[in-house]
Amino acid sequence: MTDPILDIRNLSVSFGKLYALDDISLTVAAGERLALIGHNGAGKSTLFKAVLGFLTPETGSVSIAGHPPGTDAARIAITYLPEVVAFPRSLTGREVLAYFSGLRSATRTGIFDLLDRVGLTEAADRPVGTYSKGMRQRLGLAQALIGAPRLLLLDEPTSGLDPVSRHDFYEVIAEAAARGAAVLLSSHGLEEIQSRTDRVAILSRGALRAVGTMEDLARQAALPTTIRVTALQGEADRLQSELGGRRINGCRLEIDCTPEAKLALLARLGAHRDVLEDIDVTAPGLDDIYRHHSRSSDMEERT
Ligand X SMILES: Nc1ncnc2c1ncn2[C@@H]1O[C@H](COP(=O)(O)OP(=O)(O)O)[C@@H](O)[C@H]1O
Summarize as ranges the residues that interact with ligand X (CB under 6 A): 15, 18, 20, 38, 40-46
> Rounded CA gap, 197 and 29, in Å?
13
Q: Which does 92 bind (CB under 5 to 8 A by kind): ligand X, Mg ion, none?
A: none
Minimum distance of Mg ion from residue 83's CB (angstroms): 5
Strand duo 182-186 + 33-37: pairing: parallel
Q: What share of the chain is helix, strand, coil (3-state, %, to 5)?
A: 40, 25, 35
Q: Which of ligand X, Mg ion, none is residue 229 near (CB under 5 to 8 Å by kind)?
A: none
Output 44 or 136, the one with its CB closest to Mg ion: 44
Amino acid at 221: A
**Helices and strands in the chain, H and E counts:** 11, 13
Question: Minimum distance between the CB of residue 44 and Mg ion, rounded to whole angstroms?
Answer: 5
Given the complex with ligand X, which of 142 and 207 has the nearer CB atom? 207
Nearest to 37 by CA among 161, 195, 156, 158: 156
CA angle 214, 217, 222 (to 5 degrees): 130
Does residue 15 contact residue 43 with C-beta atoms inside 8 Å? no
Applying CB under 5 A, does 45 fall inside the site for Mg ion?
Answer: yes
Residue 41 contact among Mg ion, ligand X, none, beta carbon within 5 to 8 Å by kind: ligand X
Stretch that binds Mg ion, among 10-18, 36-44, 85-93, 96-104 (CB under 5 A): 36-44
Binding mask 74-113 for Mg ion (x = CB under 5 A): ---------x------------------------------
The contact set with Mg ion (CB under 5 A) reads 44-45, 83
